[in-house]
Amino acid sequence: MMKIDILTLFPEMFAPLEHSIVGKAKDKGLLEINYHNFRENAEKARHVDDEPYGGGQGMLLRAQPIFDTIDKIEAKNPRVILLDPAGRTFDQSYAEELAQEDELIFICGHYEGYDERIKTLVTDEISLGDFVLTGGELAAMTMVDATVRLIPDVIGKEASHQDDSFSSGLLEYPQYTRPYEYRGMTVPDVLMSGHHENIRQWRLEQSLRKTLQRRPDLLENYDFSEEEAKLLEKIKKEG
Ligand SMILES: C[S@@+](CC[C@H](N)C(=O)[O-])C[C@H]1O[C@@H](n2cnc3c(N)ncnc32)[C@H](O)[C@@H]1O
């Protein structure tokens, strides 16, 4: 079972994690999430923030409420994640890494940022992307969602995320479901053929084509099989 502890000033913001696949993972006992409002541990009249030394805009989260809250969490060897726009950018491989852990602690910031000493508590500083949110809650929720769906048995069939965009290093191929024809648009013949090998090849080619068109950067460090390299050459020739 994975145990997640989240330090936040707004535990009520995490209601979405009660639903859908993450909610079910909790119900199945595959996951435990605890919320810690660190305002409750603030010594100074419940003040969690203060002005920056040296002057400047905004307020910073004080070290004491965060340190005391972390001290109270029972965890053996947790990954302690600070949500911070200056951190390493979160992606699928990061989610895969976190999904291997037994204990995760997320620290959600607010206001202008943190007292730098809080960073001595953390193992990872992670950003959701190159933009600034009002707080770490939405970022933490996104990371929890992306991580939890990779825990074995959380999603029905193990296979269901193997072909996801980014899992294989490529974007996912196009998919269709019933009916065969909708508003004049039909399903590619190969998918109706029942020929598994042809379907596999078509999907691989579509994935490569889409990745080349939309995210050529993903191909820069991609470890191509012989088949993939040949297919890519063919796609490039066709233009
Ligand atoms: C308004 S932001 C502070 C931004 C800070 N002054 C800076 O320039 O880096 C408040 C908090 O929201 C969270 N946050 C904002 N943008 C984020 C992002 N892209 N990824 C992760 N957390 C983010 C962090 O916890 C941050 O401390």
Closest CA to 2 of 148, 221, 205: 148
* Cα-to-centroid distance, 203 and ligand 1 (Å): 39
Which protein residue's CA is at the shortest distance from atom 20 of ligand 1?
127
Q: Is the CB of 96 under 6 A from ligand 1?
A: no
**Per the structure block, which two tokens stand in for 146?**
């992306």
User: How many structural domains is the chain composed of?
Assistant: 2
Q: Does residue 153 lie in a domain region?
A: no
The closest of 228, 192, 188, 223 to 207, measured between CA atoms, is 228
pLDDT, position 159: 54
Determine whether the shortest distance from the Cβ of 108 to ligand 1 is under 6 A: yes
Domain with 21 in it: 2-148
In a domain, 175, yes or no: yes
Residue 100 lies in a domain: yes
Residues 117 and 230 in one domain: no
10-residue block means of pLDDT along the chain (239 residues)? 98 98 97 98 92 96 98 97 98 97 98 97 98 98 98 80 86 97 98 98 97 97 96 94
| Domain-ending residue, one of 121, 148, 175 | 148
Structure tokens at 11: 């535990």
Distance 135 CA to ligand 1 centre (A): 6
Q: Does 122 sit in the ligand 1 pocket, CB within 6 Å?
A: no
The pLDDT assigned to 156 comes to 78
Q: Quick check: is 214 catalytic?
A: no
In this predicted structure, what is the pLDDT of residue 104? 98
CA-only gyration radius of the chain, Å: 22
Structure tokens at 220: 């820069």
230 and 177 belong to one structural domain = yes
Nearest C-alpha neighbor of 97 from the set 140, 53, 61, 147: 147
